[in-house]
Amino acid sequence: MAEMQYRKLGPTDLTVSVLGYGASPLGNEFREIDAHEGERTVHMAVDLGVNFFDTSPYYGRTLSEERLGRFMGHRRKRIVLATKCGRYGLDRFDFSAERVRASIDESLRRLRTDYVDLFQMHDVEFVDREQVLHEALPVARELQRAGKCRYVGITGLPLGILRDIAERAPVDSILSYARYNLMADDLDSDLRPSCQELGIGLINASPLHLGILTERGAPSWHLASADVRRAGERVAGLCRRRGFNVSQVALKHCYDYPHTASVLVGMSQCRHLERNLQAFRLEIPPGLLEEIRETVGDAHNQLWPSGLPENQDRP
């Protein structure tokens, strides 16, 4: 099994595994899982060096937090634990000061711990950014001073609002998803420079473009256009012809990007963990990434809308 790699999360004192454990599947977010297998996977991940775990009350509508809290047990002290606040359902968002204060206490009870290492504002593009700036983040800093969280971050899909919030209020980390992988790389041009200038840790989620970069292809719920889905199929076919699994190539490509501290991958089975670890050993042959870029074509950096109209990235 590949030896785990670690990076500092920006200027914080958190050292996180390059492969991060995305805990949304523990909440049956995509399909019902075997809870016993999920527990074995959590234990195996920690034992093999995965130390960054990311969850949210939104995942499984609290089930992910509840299960992760139960599964961690004595391994909690070996885990850099991140959770979120502000999103509680498909269309349920509340970034008010009162709700943020209550949310962390609820999360701590479910996670069976007295603090989290990283407390994140979840999918900030769905609300008025002024509330995030003037209510949620100041309260999160209060909670930090109270010892309930060590650091504070924001998450979302559109890069512009993440950059704007970070430039107007101090945050320790930004989690962005589906913006750096084989289909998209605008995180590198549109967010990374600001993070480096401001001293903000960067976390990359959805290296498989929410399931597009798999042999199975895009799940039925995916919001990507038909052009993006077809491009993903072409990339998978290209990798197959070259003797590679597209998911392994996609993971290694993201692991190799030096400007993100961790790459979050959803896992609920030991075989998923083993496969994700194996990708560290993959050697991508010269020229393959260029071929993939040509194969993606016009679907490159073609994302889907998320959040309020005023919070969308402008083309």
Return the exposure string of 249-278: e unless at least 16 CB atoms fall within 10 Å of the residue's CB, then b. bbbbbbbebeebbbbbbbbbbbebbebbbe
C-alpha span between 224 and 230 (Å, rounded): 10
**Can you give the C-alpha Rg of the chain in angstroms?**
18
Helices and strands in the chain: count of H runs, count of E runs: 12, 12
DSSP state of 49: T
Q: Cβ-count burial of 115 within 10 angstroms (0-12 exposed, 13-18 middle, 19+ buried)? A: middle
Q: What is the maximum span of the chain, computed from C-alpha positions, in angstroms? A: 55
Catalytic site includes residue 59: yes
Structure tokens at 228: 């993006």
Q: Cβ-count burial of 107 within 10 angstroms (0-12 exposed, 13-18 middle, 19+ buried)? A: buried
Active-site position among 59, 88, 177, 255:
59
Count other C-beta atoms under 10 Å from residue 237's C-beta.
13
Catalytic (active-site) positions: 59
